[in-house]
Chain A
Amino acid sequence: MKLAVTGAGGLIGANIVRVALARGHEAVALRRPGGTREALRGTEAVIVEADMLGASEAIVAACTGADAIVHCAATFAYGRDAHDLHRIAVDGTKAMLHAAKHAGVPRVVVTSSSVVFGYSEDRSIINESAGLADPAGQPAYVAAKIAQDLAALALAEKLGITLVLACPTMSVGATCSALGPSNGLIVAYLADRTRSTFLGGCNIVSAEDVGHGHVILAERGSASQHYLLGSGNLHWRDIHALISDFTGTGGPYCELGSGLSWLAASFEEGRALLAGEMPMTTREQAGMIGRYYWYDSARAAALGYAPRPARAALLEAVSWLVGSHHVARETRATLRLSDEVWQHRFASRAA
């Protein structure tokens, strides 16, 4: 099978390319022009630079001959301009579906997100039968993803393309050139000397397993179906306690509600503004505190999706992050890695 993967320079896209190649498929990696090739280093994928909102001829040419397209290209960020997020999610997906039609590709997997199914406040676990959430009052990223799914389903039907929607949960792990919100949450916790955790929880999954999930969906996902790709449901305090165990930081010591988190996020946004950097956390993310983004991946499991446990996903992510440039030297100097992390690092290097 030949797969064309858009957004291949990102965390999930790069993992899909790697997994596809490992499973014996051919892969064409489409990535944004001008970005680094760090995420795809060492792969044998054909790399094509193309802007999803730019010249469609280049995308059509790259996708021609593919059996399926996996469309990951998106902006995953909280606190960004809603119009930009919507344009990239919706217009980018429409452009890609049109390109698929022109290139004669019969099957497309669009990377959506688990958050399109909303959240619970009573710790109940959500699956695909919940249906898409009401976008009103949702963070701009979530609203954009819901709009993307609706637009994609409608257009795919019109164009006669088999569309499958992959909905990864909080995907953490190796090989991303830019730090997205998921790995960013780990880095933010390591940098936070107060070792604060939050109320609520989320579903954690290894980015590599999400890559596997996408390839499975490209191979045998049902048309017009959403598939949640997650692993373990954990409270934030348990996630942070695991990170502390892996890095010897101690903590977490206090649990913040949305109000204090909002204040902390405001401070971080102000700091980032002064420093000319991207904030590690935003007020929009703080608004999600106290909610339970817990999901069930049984539908994908029925197709053979078998992710590693959340703890192993976090171990893998922490092991990679502490050796990357994403963790500041000063932050890294405060960490005392567990033997388990060291062993994982040596094993990864040997592999």
Chain B
Amino acid sequence: MFAQEHEASPSSQICRRAVIADSEEDWASLLSRAGLAELLRSKAAPKQAEEGGTPVIRILVDLAADAGQARRVEALIDALLACGPARIEIAASADSSTKVAANRDVYALSDIAGYRYHSEGGNEYDIIDLADDQRADIFPAGSVLHGTPGSGAWIDADIRIVYATARFDGLDGFGGALNTLICALPKADKDLHYRLRRDAGEVVAALLDATPPDLTLLEWIDPQRSVDSVIRVVGSSPLLVDMAAALKFGLDPFALPVLAQVARVRPPPVDFILDGDLTALAMHSVPSAIERKGRASQGASEALARLAQGWTRRLDPTAFPVLRTLDAQALRVLAPSDATVGRGLQPTIAAALGAAAHGLEAWQTLFAKDTLVQRTVTLDIDPGAVPETEYARMLDELESLAPIARAAPERADGLRWRKWDRAVLFAFERTLPIPFDHFVAAVDVSRAISFMNDYLGGVIVAASFDDQGRPIRQAERNLYLPQPNYLALYGGKPIDVSKIEVVSYAADEHRLTWKTLNSSNGSAEADDGFVSFARSDFGTQVTIVGKQLFTLPPVWQMFDLSLWPAVEEPLTTMAYHTFFDRTLNNFEALVEGRDVRLGRDPDVDSAHPSVAIEETLARLAQRASPFVEKLKPKTARPAPADADGFVHVVPGA
């Protein structure tokens, strides 16, 4: 992979370095100081060596950034071409996060942003829409982007450059080079597809794996244009560039959700260098921790996040006219302001919206599950790297636990459970009146976990197959709603567990055994077990045996329920009974040929939340209009008399 080439290349020192400039040092000087001019020359050399070969440099930009961006990018183009001949293209794609500008395509947006197709230095460049050339099969199985298209133009570029303008009006309160990288993906509804249904950090990590940029530049210029308020950072790694920028803004880089997630899954080299003055600038426009936390919390509700995202963007309303009345009104009240009062309001507004998002998420979890958006995740286990002994040990462990679970007291119809090392050790058995062969044809045991109750999304990657092509060793990561669901009211997180699995297919029994190796959000300490479908005289016997220990929300951790069995036992029984009842209903639904996936399929178009709200208001207004009409006076109010006592009327009126 390209990333590995970087590691092994002689330029590795450049790749682990980001250079910071506090003044408007010109690009040529900065690139040269960072050693990147040389790196670019070496990258361009093979293409230049070809007869008539000219390297194609594509510069990825976010077109909805500040108005001065175009001149600065054009200056960069001049600096790049000073390093050698190349064909330069500005690359972008439509982004619904600037939904107020959603009616603009890339070319209209670039026009508004001031791109002229030629620079001050007389160099010509082109502008391309990265959504024009979509290519499948770019992202490997297990990647959070697997199955979605990537941009062919971005992949094919000889040199990929990310040009970012730092901004503070996004979902996580800071958008830099990593966030700009999302603009390389072709889907227009970027909030939905790359920030809400997927973890933005995982998306960026997948992009860095598949299409690592060669050069990253980040700029921030205070709108007031004071000399001390310019930051320029250049480097090869977007992660290092964003880390340096965050430090200059006085932020803990690892408190920024996207950066933290990328650093977790693709850590920077241990010997990285941030070269330059790292003293934080005193900047009033950097959102407070409360505001950033509030913004990040808005992501808990897809609808609210998409609704509020446009309300807090700092966009020039003359260049980006607002499409909907609701957004216009909200922007007027909520948009970031330089005024002291406005700045003071922002954290309150963000925190209130964040709290509302958590409330909405809890409501959806409890009462409107089908309005939740389905999630897609990255598999964080390499099933091929797990030794066979690990699979065998898992099977032995579950075989030992099963008799203990089956000997537990029966708590409800077919459900037995007892405590084991703080975890709940359970066995559930029920026979469905469905012939075994019919059942197993409809319910693929290797995917049984994804058919269980409250499954919100996940990924399965097979490691080996039997002679009929069925998976027998696999790894899986899955997300469930908090269990029991009411924990969502107390801030309970979705259960996020990564497992290794063994699948067996006997003539009279199909079985899936799993063991959890990792829970990336710390929601589970244990989730191991097996599900078996066995032939019986009355149909198919479904057995689920397992050991689970989920992390409770902090409020619940204050009470040690194990001290109060009279409370703990009915709550546990109810939670498991509900879960298994509904899981078996899902199995039945599969036999009936119905879809069991919870939540809304994000690939199916749906109205933007602000459109839905406007439609609802219109319906209410329509329904209320007869009553309003009734309230209106039946006869025209008589005109008042003038000072002389005359009433003036218009003939025929």
Contacts and interface: CB of A to CB of B under 8 A. Distances in A.
Partners in one complex: yes
B588 A274 contact: no
Interface stretch (B91-99, B234-242, B589-597): B589-597
Contacts of A334: 581-582, 585
A330 B582 CA distance: 9
Interface stretch (B296-304, B344-352, B379-387, B614-622): B614-622
B619 A273 contact: yes
Contacts of A332: 585, 589, 594
A339 B619 contact: no
Interface in B424-457: 432-434, 453
Nearest to B367: A330
B623 A273 contact: yes
Interface residues of A, number: 17
Nearest to B616: A274
Contacts of B586: 333
A308 interface: no
Interface in B610-648: 615-616, 619-620, 623
Contact of A329 (B434, B595, B619, B620): B595
Interface string B568-588: 000000000000011011101
Nearest to B586: A333
Contacts of A336: 581, 584-585
Contact of A330 (B370, B588, B616): B370
A337 B616 contact: no
Interface in A20-48: none
Given A332-B589, A332-B594, A342-B433, A276 B369 contact: no
A75 to B, nearest CB: 20
Contacts of A323: 592, 594
Contact of B370 (A276, A329, A335, A339): A329
Interface in A296-351: 323, 328-330, 332-337, 339, 342-343, 345
Contact of A342 (B434, B598, B623): B434
Contacts of A330: 369-370
Nearest to A329: B370
A332 to B, nearest CB: 6
B616 A276 contact: yes
A329 B594 contact: yes
A273 B584 CA distance: 34
A301 B394 CA distance: 68
B594 A345 contact: no
Contacts of B434: 342
Nearest to A322: B592
Which residue, of A276, A329, A332, A336, has the highest number of chain B Cβ atoms within 10 A? A329
B363 to A, nearest CB: 14
Contact of A276 (B584, B595, B615): B615
A343 B433 CA distance: 8
A346 to B, nearest CB: 8
B594 A335 contact: no
Given A273-B623, A276-B616, A335 B433 contact: no
A334 B581 CA distance: 7
Contacts of B619: 273-274, 276
Contacts of B594: 323, 329, 332
Interface in B109-135: none
Contacts of B433: 339, 342-343
A242 to B, nearest CB: 19
A328 B581 CA distance: 16
B585 A335 contact: yes
Contact of B582 (A276, A333, A339): A333
A333 B623 contact: no
Contact of B620 (A273, A328, A339): A273
Contacts of A335: 585
A342 B584 CA distance: 14
B370 A328 contact: yes
A328 B371 CA distance: 12
Contacts of A339: 433
Contacts of B616: 274, 276
Nearest to B584: A336
A273 B588 CA distance: 33
Interface string A46-62: 00000000000000000
Nearest to A335: B585
Contacts of B589: 329, 332-333
A62 B615 CA distance: 40
Interface in A196-246: none
A330 B453 CA distance: 10
Nearest to B597: A329
A335 B588 CA distance: 10
A342 B592 CA distance: 10
Nearest to B612: A276
Interface string A244-286: 0000000000000000000000000000011010000000000
A337 B453 CA distance: 17
Contacts of B584: 336
Contacts of B453: 333
A199 B585 CA distance: 31
Contacts of A328: 370
Nearest to A272: B619
A337 B588 contact: yes
Contacts of A274: 616, 619-620
A48 B587 CA distance: 40
A333 B582 CA distance: 5
Contacts of A329: 370, 589, 594-596, 598
A336 B431 CA distance: 12
With most chain A CB atoms within 10 A of its CB, the pick from B370, B434, B588, B598 is: B588
A333 to B, nearest CB: 5
A77 to B, nearest CB: 17
Contacts of B615: 276
A343 B435 CA distance: 11
A343 B434 CA distance: 9
A273 B616 CA distance: 8
A339 B581 CA distance: 15
A342 B539 CA distance: 11
Contacts of B595: 329
Nearest to A340: B433
Contacts of A343: 433
Nearest to B594: A323
B376 to A, nearest CB: 20
Nearest to A349: B592
Interface string B518-561: 00000000000000000000000000000000000000000000
A60 to B, nearest CB: 38
A292 B640 CA distance: 60
A163 B301 CA distance: 59
Given A328-B370, A333-B586, A334-B585, A345 B592 contact: yes
Contacts of A342: 432-434
B25 to A, nearest CB: 57
17 contacts: A273-B623, A274-B616, A274-B619, A274-B620, A276-B616, A276-B619, A323-B592, A329-B598, A332-B585, A332-B589, A333-B453, A333-B586, A334-B582, A334-B585, A336-B584, A336-B585, A345-B592
**Shortest 4 CB-CB contacts between residues of A and residues of B:** A333-B582, A342-B433, A333-B585, A323-B592
Interface of B: 369-370, 432-434, 453, 581-582, 584-586, 588-589, 592, 594-596, 598, 615-616, 619-620, 623
Given A329-B594, A339-B433, 15 more contacts: A273-B619, A276-B616, A276-B619, A329-B589, A330-B369, A330-B370, A332-B585, A333-B582, A333-B589, A334-B581, A335-B585, A336-B581, A336-B584, A342-B432, A343-B433
